[in-house]
Amino acid sequence: MTLGDGGTTADPRFSGFPLPRHDSEVYNWDNILFVIGAGKRFKTQFVGKDGYILTEGGKNQYNWENGEWVDYAADETEPYTCGPCHTTGYRAPEDGGNAFAGEYPGIVGDFAHLNVTCEACHGPGAQHAASPSKRNITVDGSAALCGTCHSRSEEEKTILAGDDFILHYQQYSELLNSPHNWFGCNACHDSHVGRARGLHLRRGSVEICTDCHLAQTEDYKGSSMQKAGVMCQDCHMGKATLSARQNGPYEGDVSTHVFRINPNDSYDMFDRNRKGEAVAARKALSLEYACFRCHSDADKDEYSAIGRAREFHTLGKK
């Protein structure tokens, strides 16, 4: 099995993907097998012709949000272990997935297609392609299907954390801990729109919320926050998750899906070990991650009083 001669780098190469500049002998398209993060959303790394992620000299991860090069496992031997979620038809080594072992020793397991294609969600599709019918293709609209990749812990309701942020790609675990735990992901998201085109919602995010939250919508109309352009997700989906870049003391770069906010001034949204390190997130955002990423000079006692009185939605109307 082969990944082809440069074909897997054609799109990034010709769409202007940057390359690290400090070592052109290592970081050049002739030495790159494929790109991790081709959607230009968070970060991009590069896999060498032997299947290992290129780490020489560091400054090997490009963060799209701010155009910054940062270290990822600098100068370490880093195999490509992303296959279970970032490919289609993945087989683990223990299940016979050894087709790449000779030519690409750095790739753990093997797969039929690089990237997430139709069959990753819909199952084998040759019969459907030959004779399209609803009877010969898998259609699974459950959140659990998405959760096979968008969770990290063996306990699917556990939201793993580190350095006071939620670890990325745990939207399913977050959803299970939220008031919306009965939703399918496709209630809001259109899974057929690629990430390169931005956040793939079926409609505007505010419209999705207002369909159900009628009382809150009415309260919010004309409030000082509404007039300032603050939308539902700005607070209820605070960026307490970190993928590529920390943008502030309480701001990562990925929106969370727990939705609930706990306004108590003593509330800590993380469970911590004996060293005080965050190890898991709880079922609600704290004021720090809902409010203080914008209101950095706010008084927590004051904001807690407003929250406990349920006055956030009506601020400025009284």
Return per-residue pLDDT of the chain as tens, 318 residues: 456 554 567 778 888 889 999 999 999 999 999 999 877 889 999 999 999 999 999 999 999 999 999 999 999 999 999 999 999 999 999 999 999 999 999 999 999 998 889 999 999 999 999 999 999 999 999 999 999 999 999 999 999 999 999 999 999 999 999 999 999 998 888 888 765 444 566 665 667 888 889 999 999 999 999 999 999 999 999 999 999 999 999 999 999 999 999 999 999 999 999 999 999 999 999 999 999 989 988 889 988 988 887 888 998 886
Q: Is residue 138 part of a domain?
A: no
Q: Are residues 163 and 284 in the same domain?
A: yes
Full residue range of the structural domain in which residue 152 is found: 143-314
Contact call for residues 186 and 141 (beta carbons, < 8 A)? yes
Q: Is residue 89 part of a domain?
A: yes
Q: Are residues 179 and 299 in the same domain?
A: yes
Q: Is residue 242 part of a domain?
A: yes
Q: Is residue 246 part of a domain?
A: yes
Q: Are residues 208 and 246 in the same domain?
A: yes
pTM: 0.91
Q: Is residue 128 part of a domain?
A: no
Q: Are residues 59 and 155 in the same domain?
A: no
Q: Are residues 266 and 229 in the same domain?
A: yes
Q: Are residues 105 and 239 in the same domain?
A: no
Q: Are residues 172 and 85 in the same domain?
A: no
Q: Are residues 61 and 169 in the same domain?
A: no
Q: Is residue 188 part of a domain?
A: yes
- The total of structural domains in the chain comes to 2
